[in-house]
Structure 1
Amino acid sequence: MDDFSTPNTVNSFGIPASPANFIKPRKRPLSSMCPSVVVNSDGMVNIVVGAAGGSKITTSSALVTASTQWLGMGIKEAIDHRRIHHQLLPAQIDVERGFPQIILDGLMGLGHNITLKDSAGSIVQGILQQQEGVVTANSDFRKHGLPDGY
């Protein structure tokens, strides 16, 4: 039932209750899920990403996608990379231990509050096609996942 909000409480992710997600008859809980498929200019699938982890789903999916598309990382490197997450409320950035210090220094220099975490709090799976006919996949080591294929 943690998918719904209970008045005057916070959920297991530390998010305050929202009236939009209160329990009501025949109501489904709001969700942070965002399965993503990115295609190239020819309409060919480039990357498929999905994640689990409540409110950290969207930032984890976006980080993996950006890492492959803009930073040129392979899917394993992008999924295995340390994660960063901003919840908006509270005004702090959660950072998985081992995230590049130079980026953290820059964020702190801009006045951001940084909280180091032992875990990313999210699990990502992904499939990447960087060139036609070559497909790679990865399952997040944080949940002891392994990709499988033929």
Structure 2
Amino acid sequence: MGVWELLLVGFVLLLGLCGVLVPGVPGSWLVWAAILWWALKNPAPVAWGVLVGATVVLLLAQVVRWALPPRRLRESGATPRMAVCAGVGAFLGFVLIPVVGAIPGFLGGIYLSERLRLGRHGEAMAALRTAMRSGGSSVLAELFACLLILGAWVGAVIWG
């Protein structure tokens, strides 16, 4: 697979990560479709392993999302800026502290957004709790699954 095709797959993966944060956009499906396309173009066994792993991770994430409360983030006062901050925080956390850093990064992004908006620690913590109860945990589960898949793809491209 050429460099331009890899860049296009990476772009679709990043688009899928952004889609996870936007209600109504099939972000996890975009991530899975990009991995499928890459695996079909790449005959190496590692590509098929990443595809099978991505399928299993996304199925598990869907099971977890069904067990969590439904998304009602808009009613809780969540803003698009909060979603962007949470996504950037999760991505930075995932990169700085591989894999597990996505969770505190996601929470930190929501806290920072609310702290800047509300100005006080107590109010920002209350808004963080409200956001997580209102569906933030299901967004986190899906985003974490997609970040795991992105990490596996990057690892396979670099070392595979």
Same structural fold, with TM-score higher than 0.5 when normalized by the shorter chain: no
- Report the structure, 1 or 2, having the larger strand content: 1
TM-score (norm 1): 0.34
TM-score by length of 2: 0.32
- Report which of the two structures shows the higher radius of gyration computed on alpha carbons: 1
* Structure that is richer in helix per residue: 2
